[in-house]
Amino acid sequence: MRKAADLVWEEGYQQPFIRELGEGTLQRERFAFYLLQDFRYVNDYARVHALGLAKATDPEIMAFMLKVQNGALQVETEVHRSYLASYGITEEQMNNVRQSAFARAYTSNILSIAYGKDILDILVAVLPCAWVYADYGYRLAAEFADTLDDNPYKSWVDMYKTDEFWQDSVRLLEHIEKLVADASEERKRELIDIFVTGVENEYMFWASAYDMQYTWKPEWNQAR
């Protein structure tokens, strides 16, 4: 799966949002746009894990889904709240933010999979978020180690560079590998498509945040 998504994965790491985040030069307005969209995304991400928990039969997978759900709602949203509060954005604004077309496409896709597919599809659908963030967080921390202490986005990088976050991605991959062992080649192709689509959505999530773009075309926003 990783090989199939390699092009967009690496382009994602080189895109302006991620580069400027690592450098500490990303405009605050762009980061705030991203955080508000991601705050909504994390809530839907937690819902996907709740639906996966209901469909899982393996106790280890059930425990894993519950752990990730709780972590998303408690740890990740706390970092979002801290940044946004420092920007003067209220809890009410956070809860009522307009969702961008790109974020909506992403969450609609994973929620549709969570409602209509089985636990293996769900695990693969949430893998891009977990794995991409773990990879980018680790790489940013290593690449910008000399300047990270003065980076205004240090706590964001710190959250995703941890061994615990990386190990969660490893465990997720292990669960997928166990379930996919007896899958047909056609079934594996379906799962690869789900994964690559998710990585593409991760790319567009950051790209649209960098452009602070709500609609598919900027000019469409004039009518909203």
Read off the pTM: 0.92
78 catalytically annotated = no
Instruction: Count CB-CB contacts under 10 A for residue 64.
Output: 21
Question: In the prediction, which pLDDT does 94 show?
Answer: 86
What is the chain's length?
Answer: 224
129 catalytically annotated = yes
CB–CB of 200/112 below 8 Å?
Answer: no
Joined together, the tokens standing for residue 87 give 């920007």
Catalytic residue selected from 10, 23, 92, 202: 202
The Cα-based distances of 136 to 8, 62, 77, 203 in angstroms read: 13, 27, 19, 12
Q: Could you read off the pLDDT tens digit of each residue along the chain, which spans 224 residues?
A: 888 999 999 999 999 999 999 999 999 999 999 999 998 999 899 999 999 999 999 999 999 999 988 887 776 678 888 898 899 998 888 888 899 999 999 999 999 999 999 999 999 999 999 999 999 999 999 999 999 999 999 999 998 888 888 898 999 999 999 999 989 999 999 999 999 999 999 999 999 999 999 987 776 666 55
d(CA 106, CA 181): 27
Instruction: Count CB-CB contacts under 10 A for residue 38.
Output: 20
Task: Tell the residue number behind the tokens 């425990």, with chain if given.
Answer: 63
CB–CB of 221/215 below 8 Å?
Answer: yes
Joined together, the tokens standing for residue 199 give 């990585």
Joined together, the tokens standing for residue 152 give 């205004």
d(CA 164, CA 167): 5
How many whole angstroms from its chain centre is CA 187? Answer: 24
Catalytic residue selected from 10, 78, 129, 200: 129
Ordered by where they begin, the domains of the chain are 6-216 (1.20.910.10)
